[in-house]
Amino acid sequence: MKDFAGKIAFITGAAAGAGLGQAKVFAKAGMKVAIADIRQDSLDKAVSEIVEYAGCKKEDILPLQFDLTDRVAYAAAADKTEEVFGGPPHLFIQTAGVNSFGPAEASTFDDYDWVMGVCLNAVVNGLVIMVPRIIKAYANKTECHIACTSSMGGWGGNARTAPYSAAKAAVNNLMESYYAALKPYGIGATALCPMNINSEIWATELRRPEQFKNSGYNTTPEVIELLKEHVSMGIDPIELAERFKKGIEDGVLFCIPYPSAYEIVTREQERKRNYVSAEGMVKERAYDDYMAEIAAERKKKGEGPATGDAIVLFKKGDQVGFAKARQDIDWVADSSKFKK
């Protein structure tokens, strides 16, 4: 998709962070933008920010407050978009997400239901509700595209982000499935796979719904404050959105918004290949041991890792119990439990 002017976009999680950056960039490209989020106050603020950044009319931005896991509300938002803008979106981006950090073995049903509910089930809702509308309105008539903000965390498992990584892996797979399925209709698909973003995802734990409060993770105010500091060092949402827009224009399936994208993917593929043989497993264990030795040596010197913004988590994580289990969980190893 290369022609955006005069067309309609629908972006979830667009009241802040990555989604707001996308709304600003695509509004500036001349699109009418429906912005969806669960927080009305943040939506109201976002509308003003988008109008100021893009120089567009206020009526070209449609705020939609609803819970993405509510299918009836989602369908109503799709109806409202068609009513106000005259049709379904030409560009449909699902960016809303939440995350929490802790040992996989300490995860509760609530941890999985909350994280996967927003990061995966809500994406499924969007696809089932929006894709048929897009096909009926635009198939082989005009450029249109569906996309999701996924994560590099979806390219492999992680012992401290199991629900999130599983959800993002599924999103990547879904986008590949839809990429193939939508070709006959002239509709593209892209999964954006960033790492750290300067967004408000650090605050999602503060907004965890009451019905999902039974977490196995240590999520103290100190941990949340550390996450806030960490994400502040991530990529700027506007810069990320510009790279995302370029990926959509180029028609790539996986938009990895870094100059070293090819090397990043090559390493992930190498790791997967190693996992299928005994010899490969030996290589991976040796690699893990090597990286652990480097990390331990740098930690001893107070240097942190050599990977930029991760230094915040490295230096302060142990002190506050970042990505550790709650103190009262008695089946996890001491190394995975926070002890004051």
Burial degree of 312 (CB within 10 A; 0-12, 13-18, 19+): buried
User: Residue 49 and residue 25: Cα distance in Å, rounded?
Assistant: 11
Taking alpha carbons only, the member of 156, 169, 166 closest to residue 267 is 156
Tell me the two tokens of residue 184: 């006959």
Backbone angles phi, psi at 234, to 5 degrees: -80, 180
User: Residue 156 and residue 162: Cα distance in Å, rounded?
Assistant: 10
CA angle 239, 234, 5 (to 5 degrees): 20
Task: For residue 217, indicate whether it is catalytic.
Answer: no
User: Residue 312 and residue 288: Cα distance in Å, rounded?
Assistant: 21
Q: Are 52 and 32 in contact (CB under 8 A)?
A: no
Q: Are 283 and 61 in contact (CB under 8 A)?
A: no
Backbone angles phi, psi at 111, to 5 degrees: -60, -45
Tell me the two tokens of residue 150: 């996924």
Tell me the two tokens of residue 118: 């927003």
Instruction: Indicate which residue of 164, 178, 179, 217 is catalytic.
Output: 164
* H/E element, 213: none
DSSP, collapsed to helix, strand or coil, labels residue 259 as: coil
The catalytic residues are 164
